[in-house]
Amino acid sequence: MAAVTRYSGKVVVVTGGSRGIGAAIVRAFVDSGAQVVFCDKDEAGGRALEQELSGTVFIPGDVTQERDLQTLVSETLSRFGHLDCVVNNAGYHPPAQLPEETSAQGFRQLLEVNLLGTYTLIKLALPHLRKSRGNIINISSLVGAIGQSQALTYVATKHLPRKHLDSTVGRACSLNFRPQGHHSRRHLGPASAPTP
């Protein structure tokens, strides 16, 4: 049994949950009593974490594919009947590049993972989160606020959720959450954390 059961009976979805920050998020929610459904492209890592932690369900998925996120939400609802929290954690930081070394195609691919994946899951989960008066937590990066050398495209993809997507979601949710004094979304921007 979890030592702290603050989230007992709650159902949480985490993207990019197989390793690094994502795995730590999965562990923290499980330790707090939640049922956690997580996705990742790393199927071996996801299956290993699912075996290690009771109270978790791993669903292989790529946040750049809307059908994978539809499956994530529908499987969560099928298994547990409700959804209380979404943690948009999946992301990618490319190797250091000077601005002139970047490409439009590489930037598009980074936008798909770091921004559009977040948007898509929010869009799909929001009707269910409204029913449960749930939460959205978007994991970004400190560099979205302060910048980083040789990381122009990454900084842009981490700045946009912090400055635009997060505030837009907050406004969109405010009619459903804030009158009850409930905060609809959170934005966390950790510093650099190596993920194997």
* Pairwise CA distance, residues 140 & 38, whole Å: 18
Helices (H), ranges, 53-193: 66-80, 104-111, 117-132, 143-146, 152-160, 166-177
CATH number at residue 18: 3.40.50.720
Q: What is the DSSP string of 132-161?
A: HT-EEEEE--THHHH--TT-HHHHHHHHHI
* Pairwise CA distance, residues 34 & 32, whole Å: 6
43 lies in a domain? yes
3 lies in a domain? no
94 lies in a domain? yes
| Alpha-carbon distances of 98 from 102, 103, 149, 156, 184, rounded to whole Å | 7, 11, 8, 14, 37
* Pairwise CA distance, residues 44 & 63, whole Å: 17
35 lies in a domain? yes
Give me the pLDDT at residue 141, please. 62
Q: Provide the whole-model pTM.
A: 0.82
Count of domains for the chain: 1
Give me the pLDDT at residue 150, please. 64
4 lies in a domain? no
CB 94 within 8 A of CB 110: yes
196 lies in a domain? no
42 lies in a domain? yes
* Pairwise CA distance, residues 20 & 151, whole Å: 20
Q: Indicate the average pLDDT of the chain.
A: 81
* Pairwise CA distance, residues 94 & 48, whole Å: 26
Domain enclosing residue 39, as ranges: 11-188
78 lies in a domain? yes
- For residue range 19-32, what is the model confidence (pLDDT) as tens digits? 999 999 999 999 99
CB 26 within 8 A of CB 49: yes
- For residue range 145-191, what is the model confidence (pLDDT) as tens digits? 555 566 666 677 776 655 555 555 555 554 344 333 334 444 444 44
Residue 6's pLDDT band, with cuts at 50, 70 and 90, is confident
Radius of gyration of the chain (CA): 16
Give me the pLDDT at residue 24, please. 97
Which residues are known catalytic residues? 154
